[in-house]
Structure 1
Amino acid sequence: MHKVAADMTNRFLNLYNHDYARVAVGVPQCRVADPAYNAQQTIAVARQAAKAGAALVAFPELGLSAYTCEDLFHQRALLDACEAALAEVVAASGKLAPALIVGMPLRVDQRLFNCAVVVAGGRIHGVVPKSYLPNYSEFYEARQFNAADCTSVSEITLLGQAVPFGSSLVFEAADQPLLRFHVEICEDVWVPIPPSSFAALAGATVLVNLSASNVLVGKAAYRRQLVAQQSARCLAAYLYSSAGQGESSTDLAWDGQALIYENGDFLAESERFLDTSHIIFADVDLERLAHERMHQTTFGQSVRRHADEVAKFRVVRMELPLPRDVALPLERAIERFPYVPADPARRDERCHEVYNIQVQALMQRLSSSHIKKVVIGVSGGLDSTHALLVCAKAMDRLGLPRTNILAYTMPGFATSDRTLRQARRLMEAVGCAAEEIDIRPSCMQMLKDLGHPYASGEEVFDVTFENVQAGERTNHLFRLANHKQAIVIGTGDLSELALGWCTYGVGDHMSHYNVNASVPKTLITHLVRWVAETGQLGGGAEPPAKAKAAAGSNVLIDILETDISPELVPGKGNGAPEQKTEHFIGPYELQDFNLYYTLRFGFAPSKVAFLAYTAWHDRDAGRWPDAAHATCNQYDLPAIKKNLRIFLDRFFRTSQFKRSCVPNAPKVGTGGSLSPRGDWRAPSDGEAAVWLARLDTIPDDVNA
């Protein structure tokens, strides 16, 4: 039993079992025209890659000979020595797991080609010649080499093997089908339509570039842009190498830059100008890439429109002994707050952009409907606070007085003194038209009409008791909007919609326009903090305006420090709310994490749990938004499974009917929205069984 549990744990903690692949780019030291030395340096770096559990490692262009051999490339002694060096690499690969992609000059049909050779398991699996030969500025490759289209052969004999040959090869790992890679060489990616563009359409998820690429001022930054954009356009990972220490300095210099990007996102870069061999690693999310291609239907349209080019590609399947039965944790940074950038500068930029998207959308809705007033319920809690801030900024930008915001706080049976004071202070700081309506008399009348026990003096705090209060607030808001020629602004957020933590047809669900509907709770927290820290609430440079802004910032900080609660059940007399939302539905920081990877990428629960464990199980792992706002929360695997189970059941089974009729709201980010008119269309009577079944494949715990 112990072995079975250990095996299950190891498989869960292995990145390959969650459709990741560890890839590497190696830059060995080299000597010009010394293939034997270069082969040994290449093998040494390959062993480093194997020890780290990599699936493939790419090396520089013409790495076995060195790039700067010039007319020495036409010397038979050098070419023979390169083939002997390749034999050494092939032999060494028999004891190594990863595929090795090495560069060398190769004679084919009395012509010389600049080639990438794919080696794994003691065999050569294919040879890819360079398609575009630069012959400008410092480059004279057409003097020594032929381009890929200068031969019609599709197979060659190399070291006694029959080997696929051509620029249109895609290599597939037999036991990791999403790991399909294509190789191009240096200049190939600098042309208007790189060969890798068609390779991606043919199914390659990892694009590899064996480059030499001498260094010039500003060239490193351009390489980053080039690789980032090609990976983004192709919805692929992109590995890029450069020649390093040892290349000839006759007329050029070399920096050994190595890069790895995934769908436009930076994953790894080597230090430049190193005096020794070096290697970089990154864990590429193959499932993410496959999902993006499936989701972005124009990718499929591109396949159809370039069918002739795509049809040229051949798939070469190869066995890679990937380490699946041992723990191989993810070394990629997984942000604990995927909706909130970890870097403070980027976080502030995100808050500025989201805030202004919300403001602009509300301005447009008011302008197009020729309505100049809004009605909003203010509870003294987080969501209504942020919605009120958006309303205030919209009025400012429309040139309308903030008194056109008709704000109502409506204390009920469980409203705490703290939130009521905060609501009053907030409305005063905003400068809106503020009123207070005690809903208890109308709620009591409703309870009497229903024959509810509470109306007879019994302390029965059931769902009817709660929803009478929530519904009464909404009824007041809509009738006030009718009476005042205004629209009701909704306050419910994305996290509440995902978890169904909203009463059907009431204020956190229904409105005329909801500015918060695609903003998750974790981001709303930082939006409110950003408004407080940047003084967005007030305005002007005069002392009264500054004092008002300071008062507004103070109340916002107090609101941020208040427990999240619906305040619908009376407390025990100590002023604290009886209900705390996160006791019922789990911590928002973890549920927002689950939401992001479920909604944005459609990941299975086992992978979501793996990512959550990677990000959250260690107090020091991952990155917080910044030190000032760091908490010390951490979650072990049992806690992650427990809360993921809550999320899956509520998201897939119990809540869709509420999402199917939500009001209009602006989408603010690529993390997705739950609008039935936008990112999420689902049946209201679906089941969660298949997701919960996948959750049960996860071990119950992991021994640290």
Structure 2
Amino acid sequence: MNAFYSLYSHEFLRVATCVPATEVADPDFAVAETLRLAELGHADGAGVMLFPELGLSSYAIDDLLLQDALLDAVERAIGKIVEASKDLYPVLAVGAPLRGDGRLYNTGVIIHRGKILGVVPKAYLPNYREFYERRHFSPGAGVTDATISVGGHRVPFGVDLLFRSEGSVPFTFHVEVCEDFWVPLPPSTRAAMAGAELLLNLSASNITIGKAETRRMLCASQSARAVAAYAYSAAGPGESTTDLAWDGHAAVYEYGDLLAETERFPTGGTFVTADIDLGRLRQERMRLNSFADCARQELPQGHGYRKVGFTLDKPADVVPLRRRIERFPYVPSNPARLREDCYEAYNIQVQGLAKRLAATGIKHPVIGVSGGLDSTQALIVAARAIDLIGEDRKNIRAYTLPGFATSDSTKSNAWTLINSLGVTGEEIDIRPAARQMLADLGHPFGAGEPVYDVTFENVQAGLRTDYLFRLANQVGGLVVGTGDLSELGLGWCTYGVGDHMSHYNVNASVSKTLIQHLIRFVARSGDVTPETAAVLEAILATEISPELVPPGEEGVLQSTQDIVGPYALQDFNLFYLTRYGYRPSKIAFLSYNAWSDAESGVWPQDIPEDQKRAYAMADIRHWMEVFLRRFFNNQFKRSAAPNGPKISSGGSLSPRGDWRAPSDASAKVWLAELRDNVPAE
């Protein structure tokens, strides 16, 4: 199978966090269970496997930790794991009590391909409530530039170690132990600033009511602040229950997002894997200049870290991605999150327009209403904004401007919406003026020939804009824009006309895939009349069309998505290109994983059935090429976009906000990367 389809070809790394079964103070049992899970991880393509704190000895064994017989057995256990690791792919991070320079340390031992890469001591030892670690261990805080003897070999030892893969799967990771991330300044914070992208925490962590949620909060916040992946493993079944209990909680977070979590209170050993996106973390760190500024200020000259190199190369076999990729990155599949997003987006739009009206003193929003999605959302927002500033909805001037292809259904929907919202509506038929302009231009249509070219289309679009701006002059109004983020990204808007130009565009950073849900949110909010709700549902069921060319044979409408591509795919491309700067091949890889199988995965609530389809790689590649050409060729339109509120962290295309680019750039580099690295089928 083509290596393109392997996660390791696209800056992903599979990490496993493990909860082995244990027997109290039985290193031989611990070795067998550790290697059993390690072999499963190897077969599964894991690159790093994390095991619990003191997993080779057990954690809650008190003064048995000071017994030479046990400590000797632990060192022999490490030797067995080192020997077995020669035939295993993943890096193994195991927990063990180790003697060094007359002290005992609680450590994480890092093993790969028959070698101990290094040993990291626990920096901060809890000695409160149920914890008595200072009775047995020496703290690792301050231990740097040291070595330790393990199984007759001197290996790097200290809290100053970073582990760096120098193979074809390059990444850097850091290790800390349990309590280290409960302190105000976890060691992993500085390690992340020094370059660690993956942070590992070997933990035992007994369970009490509510503690699991605190762990989640700490893991999420640390991964977010450190712009890193954070893997956490805690002890599970088999630990001593003299006075404590254990829930076997293991999880992997990435930049604040939970990727994977074990089922707590397992009855046997288990592990969970997560495919972390190293490319995402690298992109975020480059973009967040404050991250680098903080590192420059807080880290000593030269960083003070020792880099321990090892080699992790891409596995020979294809390792398919097992990470949930949202099919609609602007539309979360979680219903509660989607409701919250819609609530926030709608109110951001309303607040933005209300402020503009208040600041200008203008009381007459002017809007062209077509009966399509975009103008519907803009009119809903305008009505609510007028309410917010305490003005009469009759101040809103809504115009239907039918042209040569306006259908009876969209026109009827437009009028029903205007009347149900209680705004002032008027109709201006643009066809006489359009015929005159086409005749003046010497266009064949002016002489009665059915020629439906770009001039024919844009004469209508331009006239609608002319009328709206002059009507705004006449009533002392402000033209509310309707064009959305997806159209601006694809350049599917005519320069200087209504879907591009306005006095203020409320939809400027709302994607086509999200706008449907915003309308549905209002329709089902209970804040509109039943008549308004009914017409909103009817508009949602209407085919997306610019309605500039009359229907063809058998009444087939002009379809936007037949020309620019399915909005589902193009919004996906837009998000990952502008939000993360991914190369086209990685976007195509993600798109394939999201869209190649319509039967798997979770669909956002209320997604129409016609959008629940699969796309083959050939479709994904074709429409991405269309996207790239259109995106680069139409930057000049984005450079002149009017004001409009930023809606989501997915970004906007405003030249004053998230996206700034030259109008003359070529898509050549991106098209070549797509062509050279993405299979045609």
TM-score (norm 2): 0.98
Q: Distance in 2 between matches of 1:496 and 1:603?
A: 21
Residues 576/432 of structure 1: CA separation in 2 closer, same or farther (3 Å cut): farther
RMSD: 1.4
Instruction: Tell me which amino acid in the other structure corresponds to 2:489.
Output: A
> Which shifted more, 461-470 or 497-506?
461-470
Q: Distance in 2 between matches of 1:353 and 1:178?
A: 39
Partner of 1:215: 207
1:674 to 653, 659, 663: 653
Q: How does 1:554-573 map to 2 (within 5 A)?
A: 554-572=534-552
Partner of 1:390: 381
1:356 to 347, 354, 358: 347
Partner of 1:145: 137
Residues 320/607 of structure 1: CA separation in 2 closer, same or farther (3 Å cut): same
Partner of 2:305: 313
1:340 to 331, 336, 347: 331
The offset of 1:561, in angstroms, is 1.3
Are 2:600 and 1:609 equivalent residues in the alignment? no
Partner of 1:638: 618
SS in 2 for 1:117: strand
Q: Distance in 1 between matches of 2:403 and 2:141?
A: 78
Q: Distance in 1 between matches of 2:538 and 2:421?
A: 15
Q: How does 1:608-627 map to 2 (within 5 A)?
A: 608-626=587-605
Q: Distance in 2 between matches of 1:353 and 1:150?
A: 47
The offset of 1:456, in angstroms, is 1.3
Partner of 1:478: 469
Partner of 2:255: 263
Cα-to-partner distance string for 1:49-69 (whole Å, 9 max, x where unaligned): 111100000000011011112
2:240 to 217, 228, 248: 248
Q: Distance in 1 between matches of 2:617 and 2:169?
A: 29
Q: Distance in 2 between matches of 1:174 and 1:299?
A: 24
SS in 2 for 1:697: helix
Partner of 2:414: 423
Partner of 2:126: 134
Partner of 1:84: 76
Q: Distance in 2 between matches of 1:92 and 1:574?
A: 70
Are 2:532 and 1:552 equivalent residues in the alignment? yes
Cα-to-partner distance string for 1:60-102 (whole Å, 9 max, x where unaligned): 0011011112111111111111100000111111110000000
The offset of 1:178, in angstroms, is 4.5
Q: Distance in 1 between matches of 2:290 and 2:494?
A: 38
Partner of 2:99: 107
The offset of 1:453, in angstroms, is 1.7
Residues 259/593 of structure 1: CA separation in 2 closer, same or farther (3 Å cut): same
Partner of 2:563: 584
Residues 151/339 of structure 1: CA separation in 2 closer, same or farther (3 Å cut): closer
The offset of 1:701, in angstroms, is 4.8
| Percent identity of paired positions between Structure 1 and Structure 2 | 55
Instruction: Tell me which amino acid in the other structure corresponds to 1:30.
Output: T
Q: Distance in 2 between matches of 1:701 and 1:30?
A: 50
Q: How does 1:110-189 map to 2 (within 5 A)?
A: 110-149=102-141, 151=143, 153-176=145-168, 178-189=170-181
The offset of 1:698, in angstroms, is 3.8
Partner of 2:403: 412
Q: Distance in 2 between matches of 1:555 and 1:501?
A: 26
Instruction: Tell me which amino acid in the other structure corresponds to 1:609.
Output: A
Q: Is the 8 A contact 1:239 1:260 kept in 2?
A: yes
Q: Is the 8 A contact 1:121 1:320 kept in 2?
A: no
Q: Distance in 1 between matches of 2:606 and 2:534?
A: 20
Q: Distance in 1 between matches of 2:301 and 2:269?
A: 38
Q: Is the 8 A contact 1:121 1:319 kept in 2?
A: no
Q: Distance in 1 between matches of 2:555 and 2:532?
A: 23
Partner of 1:276: 268
Q: Distance in 2 between matches of 1:309 and 1:256?
A: 40
Are 2:425 and 1:434 equivalent residues in the alignment? yes
Q: Is the 8 A contact 2:484 2:512 kept in 1?
A: yes
Instruction: Tell me which amino acid in the other structure corresponds to 1:643.
Output: W
Q: How does 1:589-604 map to 2 (within 5 A)?
A: 589-604=568-583
The offset of 1:621, in angstroms, is 2.2
Cα-to-partner distance string for 1:426-466 (whole Å, 9 max, x where unaligned): 11111110000011111122222222221111222111111
Q: Distance in 1 between matches of 2:144 and 2:109?
A: 18
Instruction: Tell me which amino acid in the other structure corresponds to 1:327.
Output: V
TM-score (norm 1): 0.95
Are 2:345 and 1:365 equivalent residues in the alignment? no
Instruction: Tell me which amino acid in the other structure corresponds to 1:175.
Output: G
Instruction: Tell me which amino acid in the other structure corresponds to 1:298.
Output: S
Structure 2 residues without counterparts, runs of 5 or longer: none
Q: Is the 8 A contact 1:616 1:622 kept in 2?
A: no
Q: How does 1:9-88 map to 2 (within 5 A)?
A: 9=2, 11-88=3-80
How many residue pairs are counted as aligned between the two chains?
A: 680
SS in 2 for 1:149: coil
